[in-house]
Structure 1
């Protein structure tokens, strides 16, 4: 009997952004080198786009269905999702429904599952983006209608409490929005702003909503307010410190 490791991500259709997911997948597989590895994307739209390009990536339900042939006595699922949000709730529901079909079916937690996770990630990002004179760091999160959206303002609070009052966290589809972030920036003496995705990948949101040339992009809005803007187009998944946090969750799940 064998063990299967499923790495579950939202996914991306941006080829250059895929490396952030792959880096986390490889780190997780290195934690369980004897397990059979499988990739899962939860976004139906992204799976469809990839299928049109000739690449098949399973959904969670498809992956579990393929693994019910009795070959695996343990299936371990580690998500790369950031929050206990809507995507994670859907994932958890699929796992609960399939539990009776497997001797052991284990589901890990998202990246930011507790206060310690927020503090750990803040330290990783503080080292990656050291403080610079007259410069603010603005992190773009995705945002959600789920209550877990409170993680974004909480993350900013963690930065400020550790002395990094130059760090601000906003969202594309939640709260706080970029206007609320700008309201905080104007209270400082910043002349430069670095923006970076607070997401696993630097995908469509990072390329367009953050760094695009449209007048409603974060770069354009901040530029119009008089700041010199630098956009960092790297997802957090490429950072070894972030990969280590995911690996710690996987280790906790196995133990």
Structure 2
């Protein structure tokens, strides 16, 4: 193989969540037959010591395996949504890999989904264009992302503002970074939609894969879920649980970032 492509993502242990990511990797393999495409996780152990991502290897392990096969040029494509904490931890891990025996390899890193204001504009339009048919004119749209520190939080705020300009009933909120704490974004969304007399809202996860956050925290039956809070306020919910990596308009953005990374390797 002339080069390698590493798709670096958080992933999920939730049943079925990884199918879309695997399909995306297979598609890139067909588009880039000269490259070895592999999926890697960018987290270690979480959730009480159990492995996130199942048996998928971490980024340095995948890079070491590629180096053993003689691959010297690798594009590491971030499948994170924003340049948040986990993305920067991945970059730090790449630096450590280079310092500890990886200097024979040349890397180029593809940006996360939202890495510029142009990305924000493009993605906001894709969110609305990708809605399933059937949304009524007075039905709300609630999009849930994962919380992030700056600079990632700034991209979320820009997306929130852009969606609102495009659709007066579209609301974006970010989950708290810690479980079990109040969610100010959700409380504001519930109050706002209630004040506007919205009686139905579509729920969309703004997450790479539709794992536990999408199925439980957003659309779960528990009273504390976003669905539970909205329905307790009299707003019927219509979840549309598809990860971003399953949506062609979103993967097109990542593919463009990958093309930039591969061009830097040429």
Considering the TM-score relative to the shorter chain, is it more than 0.5?
yes
Task: Give 2:114's aligned residue.
Answer: 112
CA–CA separation in structure 2 for the residues paired with 1:74 and 1:30 = 19
**Displacement over 4 Å in runs of 4+:** none
Question: What secondary structure, in the 3-state scheme, does the structure 2 residue paired with 1:250 have?
Answer: helix
CA–CA separation in structure 1 for the residues paired with 2:55 and 2:221 = 33
Question: What secondary structure, in the 3-state scheme, does the structure 2 residue paired with 1:75 have?
Answer: strand
Structure 2 gap segments, 5+ residues each: 178-182
Structure 1 gap segments, 5+ residues each: none
CA–CA separation in structure 2 for the residues paired with 1:217 and 1:159 = 22
CA–CA separation in structure 1 for the residues paired with 2:248 and 2:114 = 16
1:195-214 equivalences under 5 Å are 195-214=203-222
How much is the aligned-residue C-alpha RMSD, in angstroms?
2.2
How many residues are paired up? 251
Counterpart check, 1:187 vs 2:195: yes
Aligned 8 A contact 1:153 1:176 in 2: no
Task: Give 2:2's aligned residue.
Answer: 2
The CA deviation at 1:159 is: 1.5
Aligned 8 A contact 1:17 1:202 in 2: yes
Aligned 8 A contact 2:230 2:237 in 1: yes
Aligned 8 A contact 2:28 2:37 in 1: no
TM-score (norm 2): 0.86
Task: Give 1:72's aligned residue.
Answer: 71
Task: Give 2:60's aligned residue.
Answer: 61
The CA deviation at 1:26 is: 2.8
Aligned 8 A contact 1:95 1:107 in 2: no
Question: What secondary structure, in the 3-state scheme, does the structure 1 residue paired with 2:195 have?
Answer: coil
1:59-138 equivalences under 5 Å are 59-69=58-68, 71-99=70-98, 101-129=103-131, 132-138=136-142
- Select which of 146, 162, 168 maps to 1:165: 168
Question: What secondary structure, in the 3-state scheme, does the structure 1 residue paired with 2:45 have?
Answer: helix
1:146-165 equivalences under 5 Å are 146-161=150-165, 163-165=166-168
